[in-house]
Structure 1
Amino acid sequence: MRITMIGSGYVGLVSGVCFADFGHDVICVDKDASKIEALRRGEIPIFEPGLEQLVADNVRAGRLSFATEVAESVAASDVVFIAVGTPSRRGDGHADLSYVYAAAREIAQHVNGFTVIVTKSTVPVGTGDEVERIVRETNPDADVAVVSNPEFLREGAAIEDFKRPDRIVIGLNDERARSVMTEVYRPLYLNQAPLLFTSRRTSELIKYAANAFLAMKITFINEMADLCEKVGANVQEVSRGIGLDGRIGSKFLHAGPGYGGSCFPKDTLALAKTAQDYDSPVRLIETTVSINDNRKRAMGRKVIAAMGGDIRGKAIAVLGLTFKPNTDDMRDSPAISIIQTLLDAGATVTGYDPEGMNNARQVIDHIAYAEDAYGAARDADAIVIVTEWNQFRALDFDRLRSIMKAPVLVDLRNIYRHDEVTKHGFAYTSVGRPSNDDTL
């Protein structure tokens, strides 16, 4: 099939490349001319394992190309995906849909023959209705079906998620789109990926409900971690104990400094705002948002407490700046709030991240950056692990102790055991575990 993907950011690029790898002819469009030129040169604007090679393979095969204008590609396409950003709107927290609506107007001007317009951007309930209204208003003769097809990609595992999904949700109000969308995803038939067809509004809500539920699981286990510290229990064993229950499951039950990234923060907030607009408030989600925001700075205070309560003039190494490993995404990363808390308390900070350094420099001021973990730790009074990159799972503690001013490790991801750190002379603090607990 001939597919146009409008928006070549994280979702649009990964989705477009994977569709091309299925055998479809795909054009990824973006208004950012420098991004398109870079993509044509084989330079990928985001870090996602396996993506660079997949782009190169499909460009070479002639199934994938890049453009800045939509007119020609939309006119020739069977399916046009909208995969533009929907950031939180300044002032009220609602999703900013201006890019979605602008894309809809532009598509409407150039469609030729029956075309399925698919919203892959994360959008509030009712957005598809407005997209359809805009298309009809802009071009009354347009023969289109507007569909919702939310993405469920995890950064760092996006290609695997796209090709082996738990489910594919397709929301439609026009039955003509069913056969088209079935053909788009037909290559996944052998993987037995279930296609869940729903109404358009239901599909839009599924995406928000899924992200909100996962955010609640993270927030729940973080609160349990705080309780574990008070009562002398081990949050990792609590996680195992409840996660073995098939009704609960083990995923997203890892205590840490709070969730971040491009989805959970904005989607939980947008869902709460939407629910308020419909006079059906979602109190659990509102509380989740509040708890998570507070937790990030609380983790900064946890570091201060681990260093004796006064860090003025102290040097702290922060390992891991992105919101999760295997991405360069800094959006709403816990590291931002944690570092700001440390700076506000008078410390100096040196940061290091395997992939996120360039993006970190755009959002975190007044800190130094090192070339590796040991460079960050040199002359430091403490190390703080914020992101659980594999590179940080086997640190040389003897080497670290020899170059640090004080052997203090604050492990906000619980990637070490108490005994394997303290035997090297380090003071060790983790999350939700007794100070002398050696289990993982």
Structure 2
Amino acid sequence: MTGPVRLGLRANLAQFTLLVAVNALVGGMLGQERVVLPLLAEQTFGLTTATSALTFILTFGLVKAATNFFAGTLSDRYGRKPVLVAGWLIGLPIPLLLMWAPGWGWVIIANVLLGVNQGLTWSTTVIMKIDLAGPERRGLAMGLNEAAGYLAVAVTTVATGYLAERYGLRPAPFLLGAAYAALGLGLSTVAVKETHDHARHEAGSEPSPHTTRQIFLLTSFKERALSSVSQAGLVNNLNDGLAWGLLPIMFAAHGLSLGRIGFLSALYLAVWGLGQLATGALSDRWGRKRLIVWGMLTQGLALALIGAASSFPLWAAALVLLGAGTAMVYPTLLAAIGDVAHPSWRARAVGVYRLWRDGGFAAGALVAGVTADLFGIPAAIWTVAALTAASGLVVALRMYETHVRGAAAT
């Protein structure tokens, strides 16, 4: 680093803005799959059961969850930027594999790489933004980060839906992913600067008092706020795994076109993405706990409505509600981790939280797939709705308010 290290969004505006753009490219890599891959499984590769069709989400979730954990540790050991660049290098072959995969096994290999890519790049951009923002505007920083990522998922989702409708499921939709990977690698290599010194500056001379094992146990089970956040993150991505893997299949079974399916998926993601611009900042003012509780309950209600509906307008309304509930939760969970974890071990705590959160994709693939095969897709949706509402009640009963201003307000 050259010059004095300063914390805060205004003091680090150029680098923060660049990292927001990089995270949008990370989200775009995920968006290339949201509509096309579930339909590719059924229509191109002939996978007839929901459990088989969702294997790509199961694989992605398990690999990304594990990579998140190591991303935090590697970022503390080697710095943030090398981990970010490594994630983009691993992302380069993904679109090519999806374009030309001769069998479903090749799609699974692509999703192993996607899990590593997303775990390294998204985790690292989160950690770097927390480093730069400092404690005062952490919620706003996470709102901007997650908004950029999921708005890019939304835009890419609708774009790939229309490309698939016009040119077929392959290869056209995945050309976007190839462009994202090349641009992300270039920006991360040339323009992004290391932020580890900002975390060291905030921590002062105090070393981490915990081993990685102790941090895992604290974040997962022992510390009330951190463990509450971890289980809520897992359940949140459990229901997103269902929305990703089963809803396009359900909509197609009701006769919706690829363009309309892409629109519905993008509507949910766009509300989720845009909403975080407000909810992240609101959590700095109102506190974290109430937004997490009401966000999980809102998601549970929305999923129940999706399971009961059978028309495009009702699905659209319910998906808006689902996106709003997810927006209340997503940046707030990350901000709460930043509130509780000391800067000397914060990157590893973020890695552990994201391990549990993205493990929710794997849990969602299993729960939704098995339930759908046994009892039908509506039953799977209602099951996940109940789990989501229960998670919100766990937060209400177990978590304390982590933000000082929010705690004073309550």
TM-score, normalized by the shorter chain, greater than 0.5: no
Give me the TM-score of the superposition, normalised by structure 2.
Answer: 0.28
Choose between structure 1 and 2: higher strand proportion: 1
Give me the TM-score of the superposition, normalised by structure 1.
Answer: 0.27
Higher relative contact order, structure no. (Cα contacts within 8 Å, ≥ 6 residues apart): 2
